């Protein structure tokens, strides 16, 4: 992943601000992930890619596939030892409650982000040929951020807390990323928890077992996108028109597929400490299918 | 207790789609509900409130939109809404009646509670409270403009708020204490929530109480830092004039955050006010007006 400076939600203007709003409403998430903020800094690639993928992202099928991905990713962890980070940290009742809500936010969004990223990457490599094409009137879901969702509240990437700063530096080094992903920065709202969680996690991330799980999650996503309802192609010349470097964006997509697959795993590992497998497997914010003609004008 | 330990001691309750973090000392004792203002949270009250733990059950919520309560971007943060949430909190905790102590906008919430839920309130204490049209102060009016969310980073916004806050103390408070007061607002989400809280400050929610104040016979104590530039002394005197069963004390060498500037004197006044010998007055404090005040639509 290049050292592109992402465009923060606060700094977003014009078409980027429009897309950020649509991301929040369409993906039903109270925050804009690093992936989109990096793309936003590259010509007009984000509006271009977002608009290409919008019909799929708004569909109830996209939501269903993310739900399946979430469920299957949790099953894969069945034989993995728990991290037990929350029990090793002295968190109070309100803190545990908020941590769990934060985990719900991330375990909701990470499968959707992975599907989105895989779709774009496959379309860029000419591999996006969904086989399912349902009746268009049946596809849209009701958009909007769920009313009980914990917002993506994050500590600064350069926190004042020295221990947190060191933990972030270690995360960047160990995972080989120039940036600290959102869920780590949210977990850092409870510094002792983040440190304990990371200490347990860092021992796993370079293991063969973890790599194998990571590959399985990415393969799950690869298969799921084949069931998306709408075709999409992304040609290099289209990127040129939007002043974006096709190869650079493709590298981003490869990187983010790995990073977001890790996020799916890592957030589930955090979640296992606080909820049982069944609760962890199901969507914390089930979507509702729109009625007939719902969203048709937009599609 | 430092603010990190205080946060660890907070419990949480869901009320509808929202959640409130709060401290509750528990026990079968008379209850005091302490309500903070803007831009603080429950920790503001710790030094004073903890003094009463042996004799009272103390409940210190973080108002919604503040501290470690719900800070999402989808609900009404006005003091009218806060009043409703706190009544629901007390219902959930099975607390039927209580003393309410409010500071700043917390005092506005307290006034609404004693007006519209008078049968629940045994005693009322207001400290440097908003009232009538004494608010919002200029700093909060500016901070509450929606453009602040995008114009200022959390770091810059909170630093400027910190400088403004310092004007509310007679002496610069302990650095860790001030950090602790502002920590929940140092993230972009926290800053956004505080901007929304400032945007929700609505004078109408205290001006509408004006006709009812003279009908409230609840025993009331009004404590006021004399040198408060945010809520000047005259407003405290006006409240004392209008609340028929009230006692007023001006606290010298104290500004807006009177409980931090003069904690010992505040504790002494409150202790005296909460004496059981005041119990006789509680029974006679029902509304004397021609009709019960109703929530306006």
Quote the ipTM score.
0.93
3-class DSSP state for residue B255? coil
Task: Tell me if chain A has a CB within 8 Å of the CB of B251.
Answer: no
The pTM of this model reads 0.94
Q: How far apart are alpha carbons B274 and B55 in whole angstroms?
A: 10
Contact call for residues B121 and B136 (beta carbons, < 8 A): no
Nearest chain A residue (CA) to B8: A92
Task: Tell me if chain A has a CB within 8 Å of the CB of B73.
Answer: yes
Is A97 close to B12, i.e. CB distance below 8 A?
Answer: yes
CA of B230 to nearest chain A CA: how many angstroms apart?
30
Q: Quick one: which H or E segment has residue B251?
A: strand B246-251
In degrees and rounded to multiples of 5, residue A40 shows phi and psi of: -60, -25
Tell me the pLDDT of chain B (297 aa) as tens digits: 999 999 999 999 999 999 999 999 999 999 999 999 999 999 999 999 999 999 999 999 999 999 999 999 989 999 999 999 999 999 999 999 999 999 999 999 999 999 999 999 999 999 999 999 999 999 999 999 999 999 999 999 999 999 999 999 999 899 999 999 999 999 999 999 999 999 999 999 999 999 999 999 999 999 999 999 999 999 999 999 999 999 999 999 999 999 999 999 999 999 999 997 654 444 334 333 434 555 544
CA of A203 to nearest chain B CA: how many angstroms apart?
28
- What is the per-residue burial (b if ≥16 Cβ within 10 Å, else e) of A149-183? bbbbbbbbeebeeeebeebbeebbeebebebbbbb
Touching B: A residues 165-194, CB under 8 Å:
189
Q: Quick one: which H or E segment has residue B224?
A: strand B220-225
Is B188 close to A154, i.e. CB distance below 8 A?
Answer: yes
What pLDDT sits at residue B279?
Answer: 47
> Which residues of chain A make contact with B185, given a CB cutoff of 8 A?
none
What pLDDT sits at residue A268?
Answer: 97
Closest partner CB to A148 (pick from B17, B21, B188): B17
Q: How far apart are alpha carbons A165 and A2 in whole angstroms?
A: 21
Closest CA to B224 of B102, B114, B122, B41: B102
Q: How far apart are alpha carbons B35 and B45 in whole angstroms?
A: 8
Task: Tell me if chain B has a CB within 8 Å of the CB of A235.
Answer: no
User: Which residues have C-beta within 8 Å of that of residue B8, sequence separation ≥ 6?
Assistant: A90, A91, A92, A95
User: Which residues have C-beta within 8 Å of that of residue A216, sequence separation ≥ 6?
Assistant: A76
**CB-CB neighbours of B26 under 10 Å:** 12
3-class DSSP state for residue B245? coil
Q: Which of B188, B190, B193, B194 to mutate to test the interface with A (most CBs of A within 10 A)?
A: B188
What pLDDT sits at residue B282?
Answer: 41
What pLDDT sits at residue B284?
Answer: 36
> Which residues of chain A make contact with B59, given a CB cutoff of 8 A?
none
What pLDDT sits at residue A294?
Answer: 60
Contact call for residues B43 and B181 (beta carbons, < 8 A): yes
Task: Tell me if chain B has a CB within 8 Å of the CB of A14.
Answer: no
What pLDDT sits at residue A80?
Answer: 85
> Which residues of chain B make contact with A184, given a CB cutoff of 8 A?
none
- Give the count of Cβ contacts less than 8 A between chain A and B: 60
Q: Which of A92, A93, A186 to mutate to test the interface with B (most CBs of B within 10 A)?
A: A92
Nearest chain A residue (CA) to B23: A94
Contact call for residues A7 and A42 (beta carbons, < 8 A): no
- Give the C-alpha distances (Å, rounded to integers) separating B113 from A103, B69, B107, B209: 36, 20, 10, 11
Q: Quick one: which H or E segment has residue B242?
A: helix B233-242
CA of A148 to nearest chain B CA: how many angstroms apart?
6
**CB hemisphere CA count around B247 (13 angstroms):** 10
What pLDDT sits at residue A127?
Answer: 84
Nearest chain B residue (CA) to A186: B187
> Which residues of chain A make contact with B154, given a CB cutoff of 8 A?
156
Is B68 close to A152, i.e. CB distance below 8 A?
Answer: no
Report residue B80 as tokens: 């009218």
User: Which residues have C-beta within 8 Å of that of residue A126, sequence separation ≥ 6?
Assistant: A233
Task: Tell me if chain A has a CB within 8 Å of the CB of B68.
Answer: yes
User: Which residues have C-beta within 8 Å of that of residue A91, sequence separation ≥ 6?
Assistant: A99, A190, A192, A193, B8
Q: Quick one: which H or E segment has residue A198?
A: helix A191-205
Q: How far apart are alpha carbons B158 and B4 in whole angstroms?
A: 19
> Which residues of chain B make contact with A98, given a CB cutoff of 8 A?
12, 21, 68
Report residue A283 as tokens: 């969507």
Pairing state between β B246-251 and B220-225: parallel
Nearest chain A residue (CA) to B4: A190
Q: Which residues pair with B34 in a beta bridge?
A: B101
Contact call for residues A76 and A216 (beta carbons, < 8 A): yes
φ/ψ region of B2 (left if φ > 0, alpha if ψ in -120 to 50, else beta) reads beta
- Give the C-alpha distances (Å, rounded to integers) separating A201 from A2, A104, A266: 25, 19, 8
Q: How far apart are alpha carbons A232 and A133 in whole angstroms?
A: 12
Q: How far apart are alpha carbons B76 and B70 in whole angstroms?
A: 11
Task: Tell me if chain A has a CB within 8 Å of the CB of B5.
Answer: no
List, edge to edge, every strand of the sheet that includes B121-129: B11-15, B18-24, B57-61, B31-35, B98-104, B121-129, B220-225, B246-251
**Helix orientation angle between B154-166 and B188-199, rounded to the nearest 10 degrees:** 50
What pLDDT sits at residue A296?
Answer: 47
CA of B184 to nearest chain A CA: how many angstroms apart?
9
Closest partner CB to A95 (pick from B8, B72, B74): B8
What pLDDT sits at residue A132?
Answer: 56
Nearest chain B residue (CA) to A8: B150
Q: Which of B3, B13, B19 to mutate to test the interface with A (most CBs of A within 10 A)?
A: B19
Is B12 close to A94, i.e. CB distance below 8 A?
Answer: yes
List per-block mean pLDDT (blocks of 10 residues) for chain A, which spans 299 residues.
80 96 96 94 94 94 96 92 92 98 98 97 86 61 95 93 95 93 96 96 93 96 93 90 92 94 97 95 93 53
């Amino acid at each position: 992943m290049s050292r592109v400076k992402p465009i923060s939600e606060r700094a977003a203007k014009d078409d980027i601000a429009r897309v950020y709003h649509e991301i929040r409403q369409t993906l039903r998430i109270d925050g804009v992930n690093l992936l989109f903020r990096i793309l936003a800094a590259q010509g007009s690639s984000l509006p271009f890619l977002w608009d290409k993928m919008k019909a799929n992202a708004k569909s109830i099928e996209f939501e269903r596939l993310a739900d399946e991905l979430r469920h299957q990713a949790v099953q894969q962890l069945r034989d993995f030892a728990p991290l037990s980070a929350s029990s090793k940290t002295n968190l109070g009742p309100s803190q545990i409650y908020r941590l769990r809500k934060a985990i719900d936010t991330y375990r909701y969004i990470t499968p959707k982000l992975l599907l989105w990223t895989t779709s774009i990457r496959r379309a860029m490599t000419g591999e996006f040929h969904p086989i399912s094409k349902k009746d268009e009137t049946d596809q849209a879901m009701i958009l909007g951020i769920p009313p009980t969702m914990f917002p993506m509240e994050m500590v600064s990437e350069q926190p004042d807390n020295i221990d947190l700063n060191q933990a972030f530096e270690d995360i960047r080094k160990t995972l080989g990323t120039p940036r600290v992903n959102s869920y780590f920065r949210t977990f850092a709202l409870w510094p002792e928890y983040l440190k304990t969680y990371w200490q347990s996690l860092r021992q796993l991330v370079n293991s063969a077992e973890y790599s194998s799980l990571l590959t399985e999650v990415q393969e799950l996503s690869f298969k799921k996108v084949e069931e998306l309802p709408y075709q999409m192609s992304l040609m290099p010349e289209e990127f040129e028109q939007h002043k974006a470097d096709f190869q650079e964006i493709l590298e981003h997509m490869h990187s983010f597929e790995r990073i977001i697959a890790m996020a799916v795993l890592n957030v589930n590992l955090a979640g296992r400490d606080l909820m049982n497998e069944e609760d962890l497997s199901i969507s914390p914010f089930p979507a509702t299918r729109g009625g007939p003609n719902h969203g048709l004008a937009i599609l | 207790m430092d603010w990190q330990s205080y946060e660890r001691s907070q419990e949480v309750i869901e009320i509808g789609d929202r959640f409130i973090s709060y401290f509750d000392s528990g026990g079968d004792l008379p209850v005091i509900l302490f309500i903070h203002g803007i831009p603080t949270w429950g920790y503001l009250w710790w030094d004073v409130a903890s003094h009463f733990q042996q004799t009272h059950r103390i409940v210190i919520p973080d108002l919604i939109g503040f501290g470690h309560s719900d800070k999402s971007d989808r609900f009404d943060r006005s003091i009218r809404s806060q009043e409703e949430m706190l009544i629901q909190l007390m219902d959930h905790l099975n607390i039927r009646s209580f003393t309410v102590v409010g500071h700043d906008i917390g005092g506005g919430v307290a006034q609404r509670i004693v007006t519209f839920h008078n049968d629940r309130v045994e005693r009322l204490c207001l400290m440097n409270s908003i009232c009538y049209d004494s608010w919002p102060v200029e700093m909060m009016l500016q901070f509450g403009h929606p453009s602040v969310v995008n114009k200022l980073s959390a770091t810059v916004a909170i630093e400027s708020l910190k400088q403004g806050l310092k004007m509310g103390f007679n002496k610069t408070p302990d650095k860790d204490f001030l950090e602790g007061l502002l920590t929940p607002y140092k993230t972009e989400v926290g800053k956004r929530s505080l901007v929304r809280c400032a945007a929700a400050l609505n004078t109408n929610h205290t001006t509408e109480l004006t006709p009812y104040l003279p009908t409230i016979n609840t025993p009331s104590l009004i404590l006021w830092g004399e040198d408060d530039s945010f809520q000047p002394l005259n407003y405290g005197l006006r409240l004392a004039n209008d609340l028929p069963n009230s006692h007023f004390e001006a606290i010298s060498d104290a500004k807006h955050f009177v409980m931090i500037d003069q904690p010992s004197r505040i504790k002494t006044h409150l202790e005296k006010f909460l004496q059981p010998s005041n119990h006789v007055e509680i029974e006679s404090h029902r509304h004397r007006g021609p009709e019960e005040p109703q929530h306006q639509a």
